[in-house]
């Protein structure tokens, strides 16, 4: 084998190794990527079926119900225009309350319900996830702009 052929084979093997590495990184990145959707976007069918995503908004007043053993809950997340029922099994965050902001991560089940694997509540009284605040504002919810939202607006 000539030195020129050896170099060509070495270059091709190197390119193949780089291609495999890039494919593995992109696959890992895509599997960890979680998008945010509002209840209105979910109602419009924009949310992916069978893939996890986040839904955010306000916990509707009077919608929180404990079922079964007490660790399973059902509540409604609303953006004032549309609502979606969320079921969750586990311990809710201490700051989780009706009428307050929430972000739930999970997926749409075949029956159309949203099954959360993680529920996040606001961590202080001024915080609202920027995506949830923007969705509530678009839906016409009368909310006072938080400092974080004002900072988000400037970006």
pLDDT of residue 11: 96
Cβ atoms of 88 and 73 closer than 8 Å: yes
- pLDDT at position 135 over 80: no
pLDDT tens track for 10-35: 999 999 999 999 999 998 888 788 88
Rg over alpha carbons for the chain, rounded to the nearest Å, is 22
- pLDDT at position 110 over 90: no
- Looking at the DSSP bridge assignments, the partners of residue 153 are none
pLDDT of residue 19: 97
- pLDDT at position 121 over 60: yes
pTM across the whole model: 0.66
| Pairwise CA distance, residues 57 & 38, whole Å | 7
pLDDT of residue 65: 92
- pLDDT at position 124 over 60: no
pLDDT of residue 155: 60
pLDDT top residue among 114 and 29: 114
Report the Cα 97 to chain-centroid distance in Å. Answer: 19
| Pairwise CA distance, residues 35 & 151, whole Å | 21
Pairs from 137-140 (Cβ < 8 Å, separation ≥ 24): 138/38, 138/40, 138/79, 139/38, 139/40, 139/79, 139/80, 139/81, 139/82, 140/80, 140/81
Mean pLDDT, the chain, integer: 84
pLDDT top residue among 62 and 147: 62
């Amino acid at each position: 084998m000539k030195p020129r052929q050896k170099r060509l084979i070495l270059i091709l093997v190197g390119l193949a190794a780089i291609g495999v590495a890039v494919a593995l990184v992109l696959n890992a990145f895509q599997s960890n990527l979680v998008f945010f959707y509002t209840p209105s976007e979910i109602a419009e069918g924009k949310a992916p079926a069978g893939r996890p995503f986040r839904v955010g908004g306000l916990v509707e007043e009077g919608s929180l119900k404990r079922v079964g053993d007490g660790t399973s809950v059902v509540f409604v997340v609303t953006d004032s225009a549309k609502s979606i029922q969320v079921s969750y099994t586990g311990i809710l965050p201490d700051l989780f309350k009706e009428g307050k902001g929430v972000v739930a991560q999970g997926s749409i089940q075949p029956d159309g319900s949203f099954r959360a694997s993680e529920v996040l509540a606001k961590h202080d009284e001024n915080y609202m996830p920027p995506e949830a605040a923007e969705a509530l504002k678009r839906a016409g919810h009368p909310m006072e702009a938080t400092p974080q939202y004002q900072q988000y607006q400037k970006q």
